[in-house]
């Protein structure tokens, strides 16, 4: 049996807020002023981030929001391999697509999302992730917008979970994983 407990704060709520505002301003500046922008948030982890990010975009941008569901980490902190992704990809046609995810880790999720979006003949495709664990990459993919680069540590909070827990934390924190001794 694994047991999990909260570790130290890696990113305080105040620095996340500041960085999300910067990302929103940069994305707004880079986005064309005409045409529809389809923001695709990757559930469940990016729900909190995407909710804050789209509210940084001004009223004169034609922003639409949809969600994709990606299979998440099955148990605790271990990946189950290639992600399964479900979304209404047809909505990408003729739009400027912005894929928003919580963490860029191995890169499998983002590269799959990018491939699926591009098949629909969007006008453009960009990607934004709050966190980037560069050392963990298994496939060659980078995001156009990155909030923070972080070391290879499992983190929770601000939408990110560990076996379903801690998505509601305002700060981003690391997790201590311990294997309980069986009796
Ligand atoms: P990738 O396909 O890049 O390996 O995985 C990306 C997904 O793995 C993220 O969207 C996130 O759901 C999950 N993930 C990767 N690292 C972490 C982490 O440190 N904490 C949590 N909660 N999820 C993570
Ligand atoms: Mg995710």
Query: Best of 101, 105, 116, 130 to mutate for ligand 1, by most ligand atoms within 8 A of CB?
Result: 105
> What residues pack around ion ligand 2 (CB closer than 5 A)?
42, 45
Is the overall model pTM greater than 0.85, yes or no?
A: yes
Q: How far apart are CA 104 and CA 142, in angstroms?
A: 8
Q: What is the pLDDT of residue 56?
A: 98
Mean pLDDT of 68-89: 75
Q: What is the pLDDT of residue 6?
A: 98
Residue 75 reports pLDDT greater than 60 = no
Contacts of 47 (CB under 8 A, 6+ apart): 41, 67, 159
Average model confidence (pLDDT) for the chain?
Answer: 93
CATH 3.40.50.2020 for domain 13-151, yes or no, is: yes
- The rounded Å distance from CA 40 to ligand 1 centre is 16
> Each residue of 45-70: pLDDT tens digit?
999 999 999 999 999 999 999 999 98
Q: What is the pLDDT of residue 64?
A: 97
């Amino acid at each position: 049996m694994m047991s999990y407990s909260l570790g130290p704060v890696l990113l305080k709520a105040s620095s996340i807020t500041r960085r999300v505002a910067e990302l929103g301003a940069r994305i707004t500046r880079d986005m064309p002023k005409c045409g529809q922008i389809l923001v695709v948030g990757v559930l469940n982890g990016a729900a909190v981030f995407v909710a804050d990010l789209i509210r940084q975009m001004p009223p004169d941008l034609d922003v639409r929001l949809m969600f994709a569901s990606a299979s998440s980490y099955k148990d605790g902190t271990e990946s189950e391999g290639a992600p399964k992704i479900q979304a209404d990809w047809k909505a990408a046609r003729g739009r400027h697509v912005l894929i928003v995810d919580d963490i860029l880790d191995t890169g499998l999720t983002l590269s799959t999302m990018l491939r699926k979006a591009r098949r629909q003949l969007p006008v453009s495709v960009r990607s934004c992730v709050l966190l980037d664990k560069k050392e963990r990459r298994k496939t060659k993919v980078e995001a156009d917008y990155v909030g923070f680069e972080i070391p290879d540590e499992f983190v929770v909070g601000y939408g990110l979970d560990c076996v379903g827990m801690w998505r509601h934390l305002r700060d981003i924190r690391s997790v201590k994983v311990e294997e309980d001794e069986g009796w």
